Every structure is written in structure tokens, then in C-alpha cells.
């Protein structure tokens, strides 16, 4: 829960923004909007306003915040530059936003170019070592080597995860394209592996 000073400061910013004809949109985001701010946290604001007014608006917000012992950190953007915001930043603002003036910021899945994936955590402690190895080889692939006379020949066997465009994020954690999840899930079931899985949206790199 935020310290009480932030609620009073937000209401003052709301009143201030309503009286500023140059401010088309004012949105609070970050830890204050999420309700996780500490005593020393800043109040993050996204403001849509003409560039010529940015410095003056920032100074007014500094003085307004000082009355509440709050540091206001404004991110000022021109109306025509809103579409140039970093997509991940825009998504984080939209997710936590408290809209104080104007329309909410609502980036869509298409605008952010997000793709559905399944995030999977594997639980294999119940399996004997031999079964763990068999599952690992089939899922992640493996390398093999053989010697012939004095030469060594190595080969790589691609695992299912690589074939479907998935990624290993860490020990026992994988990211699988949603369309390929049924195939990976079928492998885990066949090899008696337990898993916890849920859908996430990932921006195309």
C-alpha cells in the first residue's frame, strides 16, 4: 500500500491537469499506480503535451510535488510522437495506468506485435535418473561422438524444443510457441513428466 501522501498528490495532479488546456493526457504509472510505492518512490507521470510547453509543465509539477514531499517524474511526449513510444514501455504504462486526464493508453496486441507462448516449469524429481535422461534428450537434443580409426566424428541430434522454435530459459523452465505446446505436452505426458504451464505474450524480436 502506498504512503498516504501519494493519494493526495495524485488528486492535486488530477486537478492541475484539468486546468491545463495544453495537457491532452495525464497518466500515472509505475509503483504508485501499482500500489507498491515506498516513502522515497517517485510519482511517474506520462503527459501528452506540445513540446514548447514541456519545460514549463515539468517545473510546475516539481513545485506541486514538493508540497506533498513527492518527487514527480514526468515523461512528456508530443501528440504526434505517442506512436513512437517503446512498445514494452507503452505496455507497462497501459497495464498499471491511473488515467488522470484524457483517454487511456491502450496498446493492442497487434500494435505491440505480441505472440502467444506457453511458459512451462518442469517437475521431474519423481522420475528415475534413466527416465530423466531420456526425456531431456528428446526435449533438448543431445550430441554424440564416435571414433573411427584415429578420427572422432561428432553429431548433434536436435530436440523437439528447438524444432518447434522454443527456448530453454533456465533449469527446468522452457518457453514454447503456443501452437507447438500440444506436441511438447504430449511428449511430457508420454515420458511421465509433470509440468506447470500458462500462457504469456512475448514481443517478436
- pLDDT means over runs of 10, the chain (205 residues): 94 96 92 91 93 94 96 89 75 83 70 78 94 95 81 84 93 92 94 90 70
Domain CATH number, residue 86: 3.30.460.10
Which pLDDT does position 204 carry in this prediction?
67
Boundary (domain end) residue, out of 110, 127, 160: 110
Note the pTM of the prediction, 2 decimals. Answer: 0.54
Which pLDDT does position 103 carry in this prediction?
84
Q: Are residues 160 and 184 in the same domain?
A: yes
CA distances from 102 to 56, 64, 66, 71, 161 (A): 20, 20, 25, 23, 45
Q: Are residues 10 and 45 in the same domain?
A: yes
Which pLDDT does position 15 carry in this prediction?
97
Instruction: Report d(CA 122, CA 185) in Å as an integer.
Output: 11
Asked whether 45 and 75 are in contact (CB, 8 A), the reply is yes
Instruction: Report d(CA 109, CA 117) in Å as an integer.
Output: 13
Q: Are residues 90 and 139 in the same domain?
A: no
Which pLDDT does position 112 carry in this prediction?
58
**Domains: count for the chain:** 2
Boundary (domain end) residue, out of 110, 142, 169: 110
| Domain housing 183 | 113-203
Instruction: Report d(CA 60, CA 64) in Å as an integer.
Output: 6
Which pLDDT does position 132 carry in this prediction?
95
Phi, psi at 124, each rounded to 5°: -125, 10
Q: Are residues 21 and 101 in the same domain?
A: yes
Instruction: Report d(CA 190, CA 188) in Å as an integer.
Output: 5
Q: Are residues 84 and 182 in the same domain?
A: no
Phi-psi label, residue 90: left if phi above 0, alpha if psi -120 to 50, beta otherwise: alpha
Q: Are residues 90 and 135 in the same domain?
A: no
CA distances from 119 to 1, 7, 27, 103, 136 (A): 30, 36, 31, 33, 17
Q: Are residues 140 and 102 in the same domain?
A: no
Amino acid at each position: 500500500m502506498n504512503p498516504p501522501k501519494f493519494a493526495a498528490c495524485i488528486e492535486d495532479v488530477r486537478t492541475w491537469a484539468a486546468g491545463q488546456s495544453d495537457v491532452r493526457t495525464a497518466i500515472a504509472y509505475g509503483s504508485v499506480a501499482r500500489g507498491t510505492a515506498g516513502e522515497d518512490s517517485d510519482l511517474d507521470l506520462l503527459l501528452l503535451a506540445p513540446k514548447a510547453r514541456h519545460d514549463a509543465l515539468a517545473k510546475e509539477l516539481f513545485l506541486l510535488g514538493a508540497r506533498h514531499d513527492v518527487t514527480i517524474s514526468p515523461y512528456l511526449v508530443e501528440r504526434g510522437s505517442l506512436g513512437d513510444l517503446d512498445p514494452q514501455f507503452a505496455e507497462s504504462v497501459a497495464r498499471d495506468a491511473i488515467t488522470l486526464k484524457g483517454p487511456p493508453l491502450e496498446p493492442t496486441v497487434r500494435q505491440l506485435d505480441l505472440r502467444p507462448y506457453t511458459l512451462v516449469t518442469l517437475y521431474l524429481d519423481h522420475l528415475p535418473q534413466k527416465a530423466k535422461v531420456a526425456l531431456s534428450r528428446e526435449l533438448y537434443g543431445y550430441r554424440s561422438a564416435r571414433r573411427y580409426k584415429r578420427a572422432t566424428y561428432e553429431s548433434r541430434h536436435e530436440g523437439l524444443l528447438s524444432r518447434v522454435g522454443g527456448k530453454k530459459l533456465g533449469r527446468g523452465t522452457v518457453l514454447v510457441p503456443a501452437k507447438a505446446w500440444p506436441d511438447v505436452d504430449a511428449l511430457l505426458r508420454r515420458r511421465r513428466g509433470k509440468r506447470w504451464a500458462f500462457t504469456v505474450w512475448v514481443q517478436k524480436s
